[in-house]
């Protein structure tokens, strides 16, 4: 089956969540029944800056460097086999659970699909409060891919989250009561939506949008955490009078995509916000000749003003949907004998990229999965793209990776001790063709003008892998290959462990140096939720949500999707300890 992206398809997908018994027309506030507000420790700028050593898990990937790594030493390779469930908490929503549990003191906050937020005691699972956002049904008309949410941000006494109808909401983290609610884009269901985890940097609440498949013009914005008032907004597709505006045909910038639907990172040493940018619109590049800045890029920005300092573009003039949104991970590594301050990422175009985070200059690029659309990078750090693999109007090609990318949005934990990145990997190719008679842009309708079909990499025995890559060289150290695609992020520990889950309902602990499986646990559903680890009162916990969904089952097509038919749906939070 060749899939053509339409608003109707996604509305039906999102509507499945409503059919599952979820009421979205109004909200019910459940008052806090456990510890008082005075017991909630304030989340200060200093605590966020020291997130890597905090006992909690205070932001999307734990710390500003986004390494998703913990220094805790209680759970080790010798005793991880003794991990047991401390508690579970069911959230009966039949969509993808992609968020990390966010933990501050004794409180754990989880943002579920369709904008429901739960608060539990982080040690016992005791219910504290629940908030159900009054989500209008029209917001579900234009959402990609699945009606997910990727986490809350904490600051002061508040918890902040983004909504599918383009709002940002501040809740009192101790009670769940609404502090403020601001619309970031005025209309719902016309192509814009918000699913990412906000980020607090220097007293700014940083958020981004989704919608490239509908021609929404991407942006990153900063809000006042106290009031929700906008401080600045930077569009990722520049207007003609702005730097990079001449890389677009006249008028195309207004619906050029470039959305920013995953959280970024922050480098305090250079005071630089690093944020990923998604694919251009429409997919069919015949309609938009040029590099199409700043799509498929990482932006280095001033967090106080939103001004772009530098950029690194992964895939210019992209016709394959190779978004650059997955979070850049910051690391200090020695490369060819020289200490370097870098960011790295496993790009959707199939290349593992290491870039100087002070100026955006490419250091190394190595393929980490089969890659034929891009054959490498030149001396100036520009992708060398295979012209034979560009789909054109009425022309079909076969290329790798598929639009899923070698890695989609999933995090890539970094272990400073090993110097390894732990990378979720897809082994896919695709046939992709340009539509013979492209449709003009119309707000609220799909904006692809291409058809596609996903295929496995020829000769592969499965759809995915979790692999370790040496950041200093870009070389694979070990791989754990799987029949199903690997769609989960990771958390690594100072004791040589890596935790991650898979669609086959298994949550794993691996030896970080060798990839040996040291422990595994059968889950209620497939795992695509970012795992975390935290400490409360000197005890270490590992937590993750199971709940299958996301992009793979929606767009995997007839060769991949049958593998998913036996996976149960519905969310459940798991918390483990010794």
The answer on pLDDT for 65 being more than 60 is yes
* Residues 497 and 519: beta-carbon distance below 8 Å: no
pLDDT, position 72: 98
Q: Does 31 score more than 60 pLDDT?
A: no
Average of pLDDT values for 333-337? 97
Domain ranges of the chain: 7-577
Q: How far apart are CA 578 and CA 77, in angstroms?
A: 12
Name the band, by pLDDT with cuts 50, 70 and 90, for residue 39: confident
Single out the residue of 247, 385, 410 nearest to residue 329, CA to CA: 410
The CATH code for residues 7-577 is 2.140.10.10
Q: What does the block give as tokens for 423? A: 């990378």
In this prediction, residue 37 carries a pLDDT of 52
* Widest CA span in the chain: 64
Percent of the chain topping pLDDT 70: 93
Cα 38 to Cα 35, 46, 117, 124, distances in angstroms: 8, 20, 21, 19
Decide if 286 is catalytic.
Answer: no
- Mean pLDDT of the region 486-499: 98
Q: Which of 132, 172, 321, 323 is catalytic?
A: 321
pLDDT, tens only, 8-22:
333 334 443 333 333
SS3 call for 54 = coil
Residue 18: per-residue pLDDT: 35
* Whole-number pLDDT of residue 532: 98
Is residue 70 classed as helix, strand or coil in its secondary structure?
strand
Q: Which of 451, 414, 413, 408 is nearest to 426 (CA)?
A: 408
pTM: 0.95
Residue 26, burial from CB neighbour count under 10 angstroms (0-12, 13-18, 19+) = exposed
pLDDT of residue 180 exceeding 80? yes
What are the tens digits of pLDDT across the range 360-414? 999 999 999 999 999 999 999 999 999 999 999 999 999 999 999 999 999 999 9
pLDDT class of 138 with cuts at 50, 70, 90 = very high
pLDDT band at 38 (very low <50, low <70, confident <90, very high): low
| SS3 state at 287 | helix
CA atoms within 13 A on the CB side of 496: 12
């Amino acid at each position: 089956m060749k899939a053509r992206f339409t608003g109707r398809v996604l509305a039906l997908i999102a509507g499945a969540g409503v059919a599952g018994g979820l009421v979205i027309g109004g909200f019910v506030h459940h008052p806090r029944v456990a510890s008082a507000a005075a017991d909630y420790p304030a989340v200060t700028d200093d605590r966020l800056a020291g997130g890597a050593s905090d006992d909690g898990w205070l932001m999307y990937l734990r710390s500003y460097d986004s390494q998703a790594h913990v220094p805790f030493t209680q759970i080790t390779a010798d005793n991880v086999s003794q991990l047991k469930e401390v508690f579970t908490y069911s959230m009966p929503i039949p969509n993808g659970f992609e968020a990390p549990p966010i933990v501050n003191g004794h409180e754990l906050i989880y943002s579920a699909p369709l904008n429901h937020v739960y608060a539990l005691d982080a040690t016992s699972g005791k219910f504290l409060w629940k908030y159900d956002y009054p989500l209008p049904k029209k917001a579900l008309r234009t959402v990609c891919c699945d009606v997910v949410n990727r986490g809350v941000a904490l600051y002061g006494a508040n918890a902040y989250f983004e909504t599918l109808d383009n709002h940002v909401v501040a809740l009192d983290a101790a009670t769940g009561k609404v502090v403020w609610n601001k619309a970031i884009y005025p209309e719902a269901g016309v192509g814009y939506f918000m699913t990412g985890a906000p980020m607090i940097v220097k007293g700014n609440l940083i958020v981004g949008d989704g919608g490239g498949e509908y021609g929404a013009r991407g942006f990153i914005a900063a809000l006042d955490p106290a009031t929700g008032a906008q401080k600045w907004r930077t569009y990722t597709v520049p207007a003609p009078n702005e730097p990079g505006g001449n890389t677009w045909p006249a008028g195309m910038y207004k619906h050029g995509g470039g959305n920013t639907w995953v959280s970024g990172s922050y480098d305090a040493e250079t005071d630089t916000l690093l944020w990923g940018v998604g694919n251009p619109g429409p997919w069919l590049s015949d309609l938009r000749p040029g590099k199409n800045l700043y799509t498929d890029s990482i932006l280095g920005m001033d967090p106080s003003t939103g001004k772009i300092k530098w950029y690194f573009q992964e895939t210019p003039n992209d016709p394959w949907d190779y978004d650059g949104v997955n979070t850049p991970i910051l690391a200090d590594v020695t490369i060819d004998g020289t200490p370097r301050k870098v960011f790295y990422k496993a790009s959707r175009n199939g290349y593992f990229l290491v870039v100087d985070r002070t100026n955006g200059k490419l250091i190394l690029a190595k393929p980490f999965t089969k890659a034929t659309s891009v054959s490498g990078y030149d001396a100036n750090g520009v992708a060398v793209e295979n012209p034979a693999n560009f789909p054109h109007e009425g022309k079909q090609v076969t290329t790798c990776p598929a639009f899923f990318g070698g890695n989609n949005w999933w995090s890539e934990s970094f272990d400073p001790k090993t110097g390894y990145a732990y990378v979720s990997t897809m082994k896919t190719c695709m046939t992709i063709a340009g539509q013979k008679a492209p449709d003009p842009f119309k707000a609220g309708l799909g904006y692809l003008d291409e058809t596609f079909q996903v295929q496995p990499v020829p000769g592969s025995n499965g759809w995915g892998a979790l692999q370790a890559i040496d950041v200093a060289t870009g070389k694979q150290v070990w791989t754990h290959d799987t029949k199903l695609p690997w769609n989960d992020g990771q958390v690594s520990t100072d004791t040589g462990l890596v935790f991650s889950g898979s669609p086959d309902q298994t949550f794993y602990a691996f030896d970080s140096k060798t990839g040996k499986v040291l422990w595994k646990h059968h889950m209620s559903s497939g795992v695509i939720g970012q795992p975390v680890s935290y400490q409360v009162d000197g005890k270490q916990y590992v937590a993750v949500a199971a709940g299958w969904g996301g992009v793979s089952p929606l767009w995997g097509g007839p060769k991949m999707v049958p593998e998913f038919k036996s996976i149960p749906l519905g969310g459940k939070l798991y918390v483990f300890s010794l």
